[in-house]
Structure formats: structure tokens, C-alpha cells
Amino acid sequence: MTATAALDALRTSPYLPLRSLQCHVRRGVITIQGSVPTYYLKQLAQTLVLQIDSSRRIENQIEVVPPGEFRTLAAAWLRRHGLHVEEAANGQEALEST
């Protein structure tokens, strides 16, 4: 497995926090790094990568950060990719490209 295959599995996930994770392969070990807001997403990332090649060893270095901190990280990621989330008066959120 290549790091590209692992990244593709994460980037096609419907869970946005998984799309910003990083992967690299060294000496047959796949390392996943980054931050997510829940332990569920940390485990889901590992499961998605394992589905590609279950014979590889995975080193899950994903950090679970408190939701407030994660919102700050998510906002920075959205800005970096030219996206903006706006909340309407009715409480609905809309994702816009800037």
C-alpha cells in the first residue's frame, strides 16, 4: 500500500475531519497523523486504512482534541481551502467557496 491509497480512503470519507489527516509509509508501517474531535473518528480513520491492506501494521498517531480546539483547527483548514461556513438566521449552515 502507498500513502496515496491511504490518503484517498480518508479523503473520500463523508467525515470532514478525516480529510485533513496525513499518512506516510515507512518500512511497511503506515502512520496516520493529525487531529480529530472524537475517538470514534480516530478509530474510523484506522479502519478505513486497514480496509485497503489489512496485512500492514498501522501506527495511529491521530490526536483527539477538545471540540473547541477542533473548531479552530477546522476553521483554519476551511480558510486554507477557500471555504467558508455561514450560519443563517434559521440555524442552518451553508458551505460557501470564497
| Phi, psi (deg, nearest 5) at residue 65 | -110, 150
- Residue 96's pLDDT is 62
- Residue 36's pLDDT is 92
Name 56's Cβ contacts closer than 8 Å, sequence gap at least 6: 1, 25, 28, 29, 30, 50
Q: Per-residue pLDDT for 63 more than 90?
A: yes
- Residue 52's pLDDT is 87
Distance CA 50, CA 57 (A): 9
How much is the pTM?
A: 0.67
Distance CA 98, CA 63 (A): 29
